[in-house]
C-alpha cells in the first residue's frame, strides 16, 4: 500500500474558540476521489481548510508528504472591485507562468479564451473554472475543492464533476471535495466521508447512503436518486467511463428537483 | 540645487508619492483605509514622546506607528468589530497625542506643523529620511509583491501555496509605519491617509492589472505633489492640504473619464 499524501490524525479544529471538529482521522491516498458531505455547519469546510493548512489543528495533527503540491479551489473568493486583475494575471499568482502554460490550464478547466478578461466580469461558472485552472497549474498531487459547484445549476454541476473525473484521469491526482450535491458527487466518488462535528460514517457511496448515521442526517430523501444512480451504474458497470455516468445522471438529478 | 527650499519641497513631495503608492494600492484593495488613519494619528503620540523624553523624532514616530499598527491588526484578528475599533483607536490616539504635547512644560510647539505638515521647512536631513524610507517601502513591497497579492485575494489560497499570510500582513504593517514617519513632515498626520488612498483610487479606472495600478498611483501622487506645491505657492494656501486637493481633483477627472468612456 502506498503511503497517504495527507493524513489527519485525531484532528480537532476550533474556530473563534468554538469547537467545530473533533477526533477526525482521515488519510488521502494518491489518486483517490474522496467526497466530504455533511449538513451546514458540520465542519466539512473546516476539515478541508485544515487539510490544506489554512487552520492550525487545536489537537492532533495533519501530516503532509514533504513538498506536497496542493491545488486548492476555495468555497468563495471575493475580489474587491478596486483590484484590477485579468484572468492571466490571476493565474500567475503566486508563481509567474508563461502565457502558453496559462492557456493550457484554462483549456483543461474548460475556460478557454478567458485569459484577457477581468476576474470581476466573469460569470459564476466561468469564475469556478478559472479557479480550477489556477489549482491545476502546479500539476497538483491532490486537488481540493470546497463546494466548487455553488451557484451552478444541476446540469452545470454535473458537467463540472465530469470534468473533475477527467482531470483525475489525465493528471492522476487525488481529489478531495466538499459538497452538498449529494447524488451528483457521490456518483463520482471512490469514498464518501460523512461529517457532523466528527466522522459519522465513511465508505463507498453505497455503504454511506445506506448507513443509519447518514440517513439520520439527510433523511431518506436522496435515497430514490441514489437508487436510480445505482441502477444506472450497474447497467454500465465499467468504471473507466465516468463520462457516461455523469451524463446519465443529469436527468435523474433534474427529476429530483420537483 | 538643494539649497532652494522649493526644490527640497518638490523632492520631499515626490518621495512621499513614491513611498505611498505601492502601499496605497493594498490599503484600497484590502479596504483598510481607516487602518492607515489610525496608524498616522498615533504618530502625534510619537511626537509627544520624542519631545518629552528628548528622543530623536523619526525613530519615535516610527516605533509608535508600528506599535499602533500591530495592536490594531492583532485586535482585529481576534474578531473585534474592525470599524468601531479603528474609529476608537484613530481618534483617541490623535487626541491623546495632542493633549500630551500640550502638557509638556518646556515645549512651545505649534501642533499645526505635525497635523498638516510643513513641506517648505524640509531640511536635507529630512530629505534623506524621506527617500530612504521610500526606497525601503519600495524594496519591501517589490520583494513580497506576488505573495502580498495572493494573500490579499485570499489567505486560504496563500496557505495552500505554502505562504504564510500573517507574514505578509506584517510586511504591510511595517511599510505603513514607514510611510507615516516619512509623510508626516510633508502632508501631516491628518492627511497621510489621503495620500495613501486617493492616488490609488484615481489610478483605478485607467488600469487593468495590479502593477499598472501601483505605477499609476505613483504617477498621480507625483503630479499631485508637484501641482499642489505650485498651487500653494501661487494661491498662498497651506501646502499639505493643497497637495491633497490636487490629488482629489485628479481622482474626479479619472472617474469622470471612465464614466464617459463606459457611456
pLDDT in tens, chain A (258 residues): 578 999 999 999 998 888 999 999 999 999 999 999 888 888 888 999 999 988 999 999 999 998 889 999 988 888 999 999 999 999 999 889 999 999 999 998 888 989 999 999 998 888 988 999 999 998 899 999 998 877 777 788 888 888 888 888 888 999 999 987 666 666 678 888 988 888 888 888 888 877 888 878 776 655 444 433 443 333 343 444 444 433 433 333 333 333
Q: Which of B211, B143, B215, B212 is nearest to B175 (CA)?
A: B143
A84 is a domain residue: yes
Spatial contact of A19 and A12, defined as CB atoms under 8 Å apart: yes
CATH of B5-258, one of 1.10.3470.10, 2.40.30.110, 1.10.3720.10, 3.90.79.10: 1.10.3470.10
CB atoms within 10 A of CB B139: 12
Q: A93 vs B213: CB contact, 8 Å cut-off? A: no
Total count of residues recorded for chain B: 263
**Which residue range forms the structural domain that includes residue A94?**
78-138
Angle CA(B101)–CA(B107)–CA(B111) in degrees, nearest 5?
A: 45
pLDDT value of position A220: 61
Longest dimension (CA), chain A: 53
Spatial contact of B13 and B229, defined as CB atoms under 8 Å apart: yes
Cα radius of gyration rounded to whole Å, chain A = 18
Q: A53 vs B208: CB contact, 8 Å cut-off? A: no
**3-state SS of A47-69?**
HHHHHHCCCCCCEEEEEECCCCC
A225 is a domain residue: no
Q: Quote the distance between the C-alpha of residue A74 and its chain's center.
A: 9
Identify the band that residue B208 occupies on the pLDDT scale cut at 50, 70 and 90.
very high
A88 is a domain residue: yes
- What the block records as the C-alpha cell of A126 is 466561468
Of B30, B163, B200, the CB nearest to A94: B163
Q: B157 vs A77: CB contact, 8 Å cut-off? A: yes
**3-state SS of B31-66?**
CCHHHHHHHHHHHHHHHHHHHHCCCCHHHHHHHHHH
Q: Rounded to an integer, what distance in angstroms lies between the CA atom of residue B139 and that of residue B175?
A: 10
Beta bridge mates, A194: A37, A201
Q: Rounded to an integer, what distance in angstroms lies between the CA atom of residue B256 and that of residue B153?
A: 28
Q: Rounded to an integer, what distance in angstroms lies between the CA atom of residue A55 and that of residue A75?
A: 15
Residue A113 burial class via C-beta count within 10 angstroms: exposed 0-12, middle 13-18, buried 19 and up: exposed
pLDDT value of position A218: 75
What's the number of domains chain A is made of?
1
Question: Any chain A CB within 8 A of the CB of B30?
Answer: yes
A132 is a domain residue: yes
Q: Rounded to an integer, what distance in angstroms lies between the CA atom of residue A38 and that of residue A199?
A: 9
pLDDT value of position A242: 42
Residues 70-109 of B with CB under 8 A from A: 79
Residues of A in contact with B166 (CB under 8 A): none
Q: Which of A188, A172, A176 is nearest to A233 (CA)?
A: A188
A56 is a domain residue: no
H or E segment to which residue A37 belongs: strand A33-37
Chains A & B: contacts with CB separation below 8 Å: 71
Nearest-CA distance B149 → chain A (Å):
7
Of B149, B208, B213, the CB nearest to A93: B149
List, in order, residues 6 or more apart from B20 with CB less than 8 Å away.
B179, B183, B192, B195, B196, B199, B217, B221
Amino acid at each position: 500500500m502506498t503511503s497517504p499524501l495527507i493524513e489527519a490524525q485525531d484532528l480537532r479544529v476550533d474556530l473563534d474558540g468554538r469547537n467545530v471538529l473533533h477526533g477526525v482521522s482521515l488519510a488521502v491516498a494518491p489518486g483517490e476521489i474522496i467526497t466530504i458531505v455533511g449538513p451546514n455547519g458540520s465542519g466539512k469546510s473546516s476539515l478541508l481548510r485544515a487539510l490544506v493548512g489554512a487552520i492550525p489543528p487545536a489537537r492532533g495533527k495533519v501530516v503532509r508528504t514533504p513538498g506536497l503540491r496542493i491545488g486548492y479551489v476555495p468555497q468563495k473568493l471575493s475580489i474587491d472591485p478596486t483590484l484590477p486583475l485579468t484572468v492571466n494575471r490571476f493565474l500567475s499568482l503566486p508563481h509567474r507562468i508563461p502565457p502558453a502554460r496559462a492557456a493550457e490550464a484554462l483549456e483543461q478547466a474548460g475556460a478557454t479564451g478567458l485569459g484577457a478578461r477581468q476576474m470581476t466580469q466573469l460569470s459564476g461558472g466561468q469564475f469556478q473554472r478559472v479557479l480550477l485552472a489556477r489549482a491545476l497549474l502546479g500539476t497538483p498531487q491532490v486537488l481540493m475543492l470546497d463546494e466548487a459547484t455553488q451557484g451552478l445549476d444541476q446540469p452545470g454541476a454535473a458537467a463540472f464533476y465530469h470534468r473533475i473525473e477527467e482531470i483525475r484521469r489525465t493528471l492522476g491526482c487525488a481529489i478531495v471535495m466538499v459538497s452538498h450535491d449529494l447524488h451528483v458527487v457521490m456518483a463520482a466518488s471512490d469514498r464518501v466521508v460523512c461529517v457532523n462535528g466528527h466522522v459519522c460514517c465513511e465508505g463507498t457511496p453505497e455503504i454511506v447512503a445506506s448507513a443509519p448515521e447518514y440517513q439520520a442526517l439527510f433523511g431518506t430523501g436522496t435515497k430514490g436518486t441514489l437508487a436510480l444512480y445505482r441502477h444506472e451504474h450497474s447497467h454500465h458497470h465499467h468504471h473507466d467511463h465516468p463520462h457516461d455516468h455523469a451524463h446519465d445522471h443529469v436527468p435523474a438529478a433534474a427529476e429530483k428537483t420537483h | 540645487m538643494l539649497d532652494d527650499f522649493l526644490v527640497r519641497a518638490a523632492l520631499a513631495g515626490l518621495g512621499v508619492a513614491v513611498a505611498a503608492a505601492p502601499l496605497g494600492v493594498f490599503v484600497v484593495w484590502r479596504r483598510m483605509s481607516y487602518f492607515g488613519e489610525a496608524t498616522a494619528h498615533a504618530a502625534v503620540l510619537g511626537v509627544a514622546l520624542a519631545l518629552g523624553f528628548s528622543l530623536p523624532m523619526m525613530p519615535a514616530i516610527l516605533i509608535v506607528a508600528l506599535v499602533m499598527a500591530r495592536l490594531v491588526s492583532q485586535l482585529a484578528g481576534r474578531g473585534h468589530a474592525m470599524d468601531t475599533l479603528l474609529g476608537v483607536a484613530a481618534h483617541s490616539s490623535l487626541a491623546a497625542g495632542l493633549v500630551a504635547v500640550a502638557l509638556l512644560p518646556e515645549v512651545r510647539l505649534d501642533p499645526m506643523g505635525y497635523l498638516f505638515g510643513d513641506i517648505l521647512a524640509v531640511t536635507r536631513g529630512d530629505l534623506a529620511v524621506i527617500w530612504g524610507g521610500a526606497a525601503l517601502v519600495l524594496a519591501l513591497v517589490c520583494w513580497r509583491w506576488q505573495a502580498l497579492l495572493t494573500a490579499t485575494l485570499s489567505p486560504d489560497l496563500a496557505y495552500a501555496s505554502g505562504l504564510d499570510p500573517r507574514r505578509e500582513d506584517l510586511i504591510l504593517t511595517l511599510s505603513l509605519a514607514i510611510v507615516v514617519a516619512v509623510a508626516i513632515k510633508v502632508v501631516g498626520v491628518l492627511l497621510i491617509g489621503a495620500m495613501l488612498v486617493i492616488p490609488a483610487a484615481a489610478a483605478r479606472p485607467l488600469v487593468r492589472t495590479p502593477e499598472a495600478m501601483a505605477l499609476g498611483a505613483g504617477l498621480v501622487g507625483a503630479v499631485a505633489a508637484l501641482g499642489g506645491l505650485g498651487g500653494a505657492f501661487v494661491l498662498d494656501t497651506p501646502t499639505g492640504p493643497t497637495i491633497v486637493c490636487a490629488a482629489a481633483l485628479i481622482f474626479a477627472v479619472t472617474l469622470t473619464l471612465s464614466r464617459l468612456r463606459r457611456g
